[in-house]
């Protein structure tokens, strides 16, 4: 391509400061350096994690920044040493790298990588490239990357270990959701909770991640899936995707966990928290059965104090675990894309809005107001 080795000028949405709308600006995107890839983003989804960083309550954010971590695109050019992709390949950038060399990458027990786990707060991880510089410049100022991806730019630069090469005929306007939301929820049920056939499940939070967890529970063969959200408008979608019961905690006369325990004769086998926050975390634990109740935590609530738990609750046989990106990595994501193409699950059901990239602030408003599950931005 004629742009190889040259700076590309394009449009990007920049967060200059917390609590303010994103600003569409012309940015300069530098060529990729060693083991880096420049990608033309074709479509991106909006995830709630993107909003955490621009929340005034969020601590430790790097600003100004180009957000976005759920996208799909086409390789424009590659830097020296890149062997896993070539120009023209369709790719999904992943915020979870896979170096294949560290103790985590070599273990079947996790999808973590040393390159991802160096910070206590992964949401502010990978804000610069490995040489501690940015590939983005706007108005003479260096702009931070976000989670190593920065999908809210028409072109971005990503490390080769953060890229999953996918089928040439993949629909990028749908499989971009595999970059975060779908994979996170679906994998939390399938890979991390390991939901079993005939089991009972509860899923807290019915955004894109939670609904994907519902799909995962159904795919795994759960006999009963109780979906919980404070927005009853989401219940019809949840039932269409496999939920058998829906509960709104604000419409109950007792704690939702007590209602679930009564409904299931002692509690569910598996509970998955896709909302976050101490109240939801406590309900997730309390709604599971003693003996073997499994609690999987996916959701994050900014600056929440977290879970306080008694040893007795664990001694009685419950297990707690966390889930990051649903246990997937750059080697397993291509199989998810193939499963979607083969009809194993329905990504269309998660898409409520499609907007041009320039209307990103409108998309953010829809998300904050609870009116969208996933908005796809088209570039």
The pTM for the full model equals 0.93
Decide if pLDDT at 117 tops 70. Answer: no
Give the pLDDT band (50/70/90) at residue 24: very high
Residues 337 and 309 occupy one common structural domain: no
Residues 231 and 279 occupy one common structural domain: yes
Q: How many domains would you assign to the chain?
A: 2
Active-site residue (options: 105, 180, 201, 287): 180
Residues 248 and 349 occupy one common structural domain: no
pLDDT digits (tens, 9 = 90+) for 197-218: 999 999 999 999 999 999 999 9
Residues 12 and 115 occupy one common structural domain: yes
304 found inside a domain: yes
Decide if pLDDT at 48 tops 90. Answer: no
Residue 289 belongs to domain with CATH number: 3.40.50.720
Percentage of the chain with pLDDT > 70? Answer: 97
Give the pLDDT band (50/70/90) at residue 116: confident
Decide if pLDDT at 303 tops 80. Answer: no
Percentage of the chain with pLDDT > 90? Answer: 82
343 found inside a domain: yes
69 is catalytic: yes
**pLDDT number for residue 305:** 78
Decide if pLDDT at 1 tops 60. Answer: no
Residues 224 and 305 occupy one common structural domain: yes
The DSSP 8-state label assigned to residue 191 in this structure reads I
| Residue where a domain terminates, one of 285, 306, 326 | 326
Residues 281 and 337 occupy one common structural domain: no
* Cβ-proximal residues to 8 (8 Å cutoff; 6+ apart), any chain: 28, 29, 38, 76, 155
Query: What is the Rg, in whole angstroms, of the alpha carbon atoms belonging to the chain?
Result: 20
The DSSP 8-state label assigned to residue 309 in this structure reads -
Residues 187 and 172 occupy one common structural domain: no
Residues 161 and 197 occupy one common structural domain: no
Rounded Cα gap, residues 334 and 317, in angstroms: 36
68 found inside a domain: no
180 is catalytic: yes
Q: Are strands 200-204 and 224-228 parallel, antiparallel or unpaired?
A: parallel
60 found inside a domain: no
**pLDDT number for residue 176:** 97
Over range 364-370, report the average pLDDT: 89
Residues 219 and 314 occupy one common structural domain: yes
47 is catalytic: yes
pLDDT digits (tens, 9 = 90+) for 310-340: 898 899 999 999 999 999 999 999 999 999 9
Residues 246 and 278 occupy one common structural domain: yes
pLDDT digits (tens, 9 = 90+) for 144-202: 999 999 999 999 999 999 999 999 999 999 999 999 999 999 999 999 999 999 999 99
Residue 309: closest CA among 287, 281, 290, 273: 281
- In this structure, the dihedral spanned by the alpha carbons of residues 178, 173, 42 and 81, taken in order and rounded to 10 degrees, is 30
Segments of the chain assigned E as strands: 8-15, 23-29, 36-45, 65-66, 71-78, 90-93, 136-138, 141-143, 155-159, 163-165, 200-204, 224-228, 245-247, 270-273, 294-297, 319-322, 351-356, 374-378
Task: Give yes or no for a contact between 348 and 178, defined as CB atoms under 8 angstroms apart.
Answer: no
**pLDDT number for residue 300:** 80
Give the pLDDT band (50/70/90) at residue 126: confident
Decide if pLDDT at 352 tops 80. Answer: yes
**pLDDT number for residue 167:** 95
Over range 112-124, report the average pLDDT: 69
113 is catalytic: no
Residues 259 and 374 occupy one common structural domain: no
86 found inside a domain: yes
Residues 319 and 188 occupy one common structural domain: yes
157 found inside a domain: yes
264 found inside a domain: yes
100 found inside a domain: yes
Active-site residue (options: 35, 49, 176, 246): 49
Residue 289: closest CA among 202, 197, 186: 202
Give the pLDDT band (50/70/90) at residue 120: low
Give the pLDDT band (50/70/90) at residue 59: confident
**Residue 115's domain spans which residues?**
8-20+73-181+328-378
Residue 366 belongs to domain with CATH number: 3.90.180.10
**pLDDT number for residue 76:** 97
| Residue where a domain terminates, one of 285, 304, 326 | 326
**pLDDT number for residue 90:** 98
| Residue where a domain terminates, one of 284, 308, 326 | 326
Over range 29-50, report the average pLDDT: 95
Q: How many other CB atoms are there within 10 angstroms of residue 290's CB atom?
A: 13
Decide if pLDDT at 242 tops 70. Answer: yes
Task: Give yes or no for a contact between 231 and 366, defined as CB atoms under 8 angstroms apart.
Answer: no
More confident residue, 47 or 224: 224
**pLDDT number for residue 368:** 86
23 is catalytic: no
């Amino acid at each position: 391509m004629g742009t190889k080795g040259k700076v590309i000028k394009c449009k990007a949405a920049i967060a200059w400061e917390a609590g303010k709308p994103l600003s569409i600006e012309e940015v300069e995107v530098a060529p990729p350096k060693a083991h880096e890839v420049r990608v033309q983003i074709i479509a991106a989804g909006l995830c709630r994690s993107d909003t955490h960083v621009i929340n005034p309550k969020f601590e430790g954010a790097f600003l100004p920044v180009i957000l976005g971590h759920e996208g799909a695109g086409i390789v424009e050019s590659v830097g020296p040493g890149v062997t896993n992709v070539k120009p023209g390949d369709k790719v999904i950038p992943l915020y979870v790298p896979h170096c294949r060399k560290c103790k985590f990458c070599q273990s079947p027990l996790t999808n973590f990588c040393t390159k991802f786990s160096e910070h206590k707060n992964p949401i502010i991880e990978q804000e610069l490239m490995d040489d501690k510089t940015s590939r983005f410049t706007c108005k003479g100022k260096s702009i931070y990357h976000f989670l190593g991806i920065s999908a809210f730019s028409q072109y971005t630069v990503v490390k080769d270990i953060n890229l999953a090469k996918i089928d040439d005929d993949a629909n990028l306007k749908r499989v971009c959701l595999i970059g975060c939301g779908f994979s996170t929820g679906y994998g939390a049920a399938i890979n991390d909770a390991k939901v079993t056939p005939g089991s009972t499940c509860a899923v807290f939070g019915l955004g894109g991640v939670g609904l994907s967890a519902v799909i995962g529970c159904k795919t795994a063969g759960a006999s009963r899936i109780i979906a919980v959200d404070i927005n009853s408008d989401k219940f019809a979608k949840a039932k269409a995707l496999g939920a058998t019961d829906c509960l709104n905690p604000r419409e109950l006369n007792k704690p939702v966990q007590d209602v679930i325990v009564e409904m299931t004769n002692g509690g569910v086998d598996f509970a998955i928290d896709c909302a976050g926050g101490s109240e939801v975390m406590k309900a997730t634990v309390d709604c599971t059965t003693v003996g073997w109740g499994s609690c999987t935590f996916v959701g994050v609530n900014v600056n929440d104090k977290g879970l306080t738990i008694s040893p007795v609750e664990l001694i009685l046989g419950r297990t707690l675990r966390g889930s990051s990106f649903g246990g997937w990595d750059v080697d397993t994501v291509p199989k998810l894309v193939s499963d979607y193409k083969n009809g194993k699950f329905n990504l269309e059901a998660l898409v409520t809005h499609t907007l041009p990239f320039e209307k990103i602030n409108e998309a953010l408003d829809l998300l904050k107001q609870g009116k969208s599950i996933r908005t796809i931005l088209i570039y």
